[in-house]
Amino acid sequence: MIAERQRRAFRRDGFLALPEFASPAEVAELRAILGRLFSRRAGLAEGHLIDFVAPEIDFDRPHMLQLRYPCDHATELETLAVRARAHEMARQILGADAIFAFDHAIIKPPHDGSPTPWHQDIAFHDAWDRHLNLTFWIPLQDVGRDNGCLHYLPGSHRGRLEPHRPIGGDARIHGLEVPRLSSQGAVAVLLPAGGLSIHESRTLHYAGPNRSAAPRWSYALAFKRRRRDWLHRWRFGPLLRDPLAGLIRAD
């Protein structure tokens, strides 16, 4: 499903965008399943439902709701064809031993949905278990600059792990950010509903605020290699090659 030239582009840029991935019926089904989970506040007790950019959720005025591990709360997500297709594409990029890692869903509310600051997904991994993975990001409506499309820095996956901190330096906040980053050369990825954007765990990315009148929904699936990736750990482990890189804790 992924052509050799697309694989080359992915290796060069650290991301790949495809305009067609999920059908309108599949988008509607994902929205229905996730909508039920958000409306019953699934995952709240487990700490899986959070406001990504705030210390706690204000349900009257959320900034950016994230449900981590929705498939733990709605097992029908495990058997969707969307997931099987993403898994097959992950095998084509990572190798035959690619396995599902986790999923998450995000709703940015209308008018003032928060931006997602620049970050590398690998900064969210435990420092002793940094590994290469792939995120398959599916917008559940059209996404453009007005409602929070993704932006990437091409080639950044070949660079180092940038120093991250909790957003705004507030240690109570789950979301991480690279506080000082030149985003020169960043590419905005505009996609229709059901499109797909794939990125590597080191690729620097950002998502804009949602200024539109409708909520911005997304569903993401992550895959990783089953085998232990010693080379990657060597490069991105906490104590070895980049002793000063990695997380900056809040003051």
Provide the minimum distance between the beta carbon of 206 and Ni ion in the complex, in angstroms, as a whole number. Answer: 9
- Taking the CA atoms of 53, 54, 55 and 61 in sequence, report the sign of the dihedral they define: negative
Stretch that binds Ni ion, among 11-19, 33-41, 117-125, 235-243 (CB under 5 A): 117-125
Stretch that binds Ni ion, among 18-26, 120-128, 147-155, 170-178 (CB under 5 A): 120-128
Smaller CB distance to Ni ion: residue 32 or 93?
93
Stretch that binds Ni ion, among 51-59, 79-87, 113-121, 171-179 (CB under 5 A): 113-121
What x-and-dash track marks residues 73-112 binding Ni ion by CB under 5 A?
----------------------------------------
| φ, ψ dihedrals at 244, nearest 5° | -95, -10
Residues 199-218 that bind Ni ion (CB under 5 A): none
Stretch that binds Ni ion, among 88-96, 115-123, 172-180, 211-219 (CB under 5 A): 115-123
Alpha helix (H) residue ranges in the chain: 4-13, 24-39, 70-73, 81-94, 230-236
What x-and-dash track marks residues 121-140 binding Ni ion by CB under 5 A?
x-------------------
Residues 181-191 as b or e (16 or more Cβ within 10 Å = b) = beeeebeebeb
How far is residue 147's CA from residue 162's CA, in Å, rounded to a whole number? 26
Smaller CB distance to Ni ion: residue 51 or 121?
121
| φ, ψ dihedrals at 141, nearest 5° | -155, 170
- Taking the CA atoms of 216, 6, 187 and 177 in sequence, report the sign of the dihedral they define: positive
Nearest residue (beta carbon) to Ni ion: 121
Smaller CB distance to Ni ion: residue 121 or 177?
121
Q: What 3-state class would DSSP assign to 229?
A: coil
Paired with 81 in beta bridges are none
Smaller CB distance to Ni ion: residue 121 or 162?
121
Mind spelling out the 3-state secondary structure of 119-175? Answer: ECHHHHCCHHHCCCEEEEEEECCCECCCECCEEECCCHHHCCCCCEEEHHHCCCCCC
Smaller CB distance to Ni ion: residue 121 or 200?
121
Provide the minimum distance between the beta carbon of 8 and Ni ion in the complex, in angstroms, as a whole number. Answer: 23
Which DSSP letter does residue 248 get? P
Residues 171-200 that bind Ni ion (CB under 5 A): none
Applying CB under 5 A, the site for Ni ion has a residue count of 1
The answer to whether the CB of 105 falls within 8 A of the CB of 218 is: yes
Stretch that binds Ni ion, among 44-52, 119-127, 210-218, 234-242 (CB under 5 A): 119-127
Smaller CB distance to Ni ion: residue 66 or 212?
66
Task: Kindly list the residues in this chain that would bind Ni ion in the complex (CB under 5 A).
Answer: 121
